[in-house]
Structure 1
Amino acid sequence: MGPSETDETLESYGADVGARSGLSGVREWIVVEGNRVIVAALLSVVVVALLLVLHELGIVSFVNPNSVTRVASGMIAGTFSLVTLVVSVNQLILSQEFSSAGKARDRFESVVEFRRDVADDAGVPATPATPTGTLELIVESIRHDADDLADAVASHDEEVRETVTRYTNDVQERTERVDEVLDRGTFGSFAAVSAAINYDEAWHLYAATHLRGEYADALSPAATERFDDLIESLELFAVAREQFKTTYLQRELTRFSQLTIYCGVPSILSAILVGLMYADVVGPSVSVAVLPYVAIGLIVVALSPLALLASYILRTATVTRRTASVGPIIPQKDPDEGPFDVTYGEER
């Protein structure tokens, strides 16, 4: 692998943390980063605006009792179905919390062992109690290990030194971005989760493993040890990210269940009121001048659980897709990208 290949070889193919702008930034805010309740409210505002525009253009009308009552009946049935689905999801989440004493102890011991490994790797008395603090500590360990690796190869030949230094520079740049996001976030905000899932530790882990094997004969024992330390820190970050993501999504889905129940009752009542407004044999019981606006308002309230569902599913589905694999398996990377090609028996 020559120096001309280095830029392409060591480029991270993951999300570029903190580098979004324009339409990409707006899309990312709507899909992942924005407060879910605010996103649901914006979706409701869009529905209101759409219905008002269609009404003003004469495309939709609210004077036909039969069509409006059919819509109300559909909304009532849909809301009941949605609430039932949410209850099922909540039961699934709760089932993960129920365990025997043996399983609870195994889970507890695995967490304690992981925290001990993080503390040993970072050289601290104990791992921070908060998940964001744990991630910040591991990120600091990764950056420190990258610095040590760059120093360890300073006296090596030019090809090894330039290649490894460019790799460590990329590691330092991206971990600094993650650290900045973590400093602004808390466990209750999605900023910390977003930073964790967007940091491309899988590529850095893969590149470190490849470089260590590629230059095994040219590396000094100290440089090889620094590679091992960096790989260990990257592996700890991968485990911490999965734990952090799982815990947060449990809280997220539980919150979604609560909000859906809170909105479910007003939603059903609004749909019933829409039908009752048109129940009089002489026509709607509301003045024709304000009838469209009252109907639109009740329809939007009736659709609020659907808006919540859309906003939460957008985030959970995106997080799941971006973290579909654990370790140096990168499904989002094009198989033809990068010159890390290997052939069976190459080292023989």
Structure 2
Amino acid sequence: MSAPTVDVHAHVLLPEVDALVAGLPGHAEARELDARRNGPAALAVSGPMVRERIPRLTDVSVRLAAMDAQGVDVQLVSPSPSHYNYWADEETAEKVYRLANEATAAHCSAAPDRLRGLGLAPLQHPEAAVRALDHALDLGLAGVEISSHAPGRELSDPAYEPLWARAEETGAVLFLHPFGCTLDERLDRWYLSNTVGQPVENAVALSHLIFSGVLDRHPGLKVLAAHGGGYLSTHIGRSDHAWSARSDAGAGCAHLPSSYLRRLYFDSLVHDPHVLRELVRVAGADRVLLGSDFPFDMGTEDPVGVLRAVRLPDADFHAVRGGNASALLSLE
């Protein structure tokens, strides 16, 4: 029997988390930063876009009907990255991750054979992030979703070593999904905040994990990068050259940077069949998983059709369609 079709990049909106943080010190400033980064034209389009999709983001029956129409058997559901709230103090952050984890688990429990979930971990408080991961796993979630950085901290920060160690020990999935790009107002027109910003943040975050030796110290870590890992896979040769040519670039990791792509996982959402073929080539057909960014406008309504258009060998097509995700998530 062939593996189910599994979409590993699908989101749930959690109004209870937004209600929890509304009006708290720091919340307005975070919203203002987000507005500055995106610009008024993007916000004018994004507001109605999200509102139109609220049923798919919150109602399990609507979600399942959409999955049926797409030919998707199972979704790995993660909170909308707008729920990260990395500005929050430790007490608030604890409330946020507990509520987000519980609400996501409840959403998925309405269709346990078709929905697996991910929780949140507050990267701005590394010790709390470990507790958040344990809380998510205790609820039956597959792991947690994290952004590309937290204020003042990159993923290479030694403070995250306990999080990587715990994730490796438990076999948890860490879904790397950026929210916001630190290029700020340089990207505030034409939706560059997303089209350029997300791939940049993915590439920067993964480079921190690679070059700092995190993946050497934690070879069993299960990191799944959204958006195909951004620009990294198509430009990894530049990283390899630097590692070979410069002592500073090669100081932190033991092997060629490109070799670490085969230790990471990537979703298939790159919007270009040639780029997806290249991702499969450099990471391996066993490391790329179907992803749609359900149900947002920067995703795809037909993830299986998009994958089929790449014309991969049959075995590779079925691995990406669902076999790899079935193995990663231990689906029956």
Where relative contact order (Cα < 8 A, 6+ residues apart) is larger, the structure is 1
Band the TM-score falls in, shorter-chain normalisation: under 0.3
Tell me the TM-score normalised to structure 1 length: 0.25
More helix by share: 1
Q: Radius of gyration: which is bigger?
A: 1
More strand by share: 2
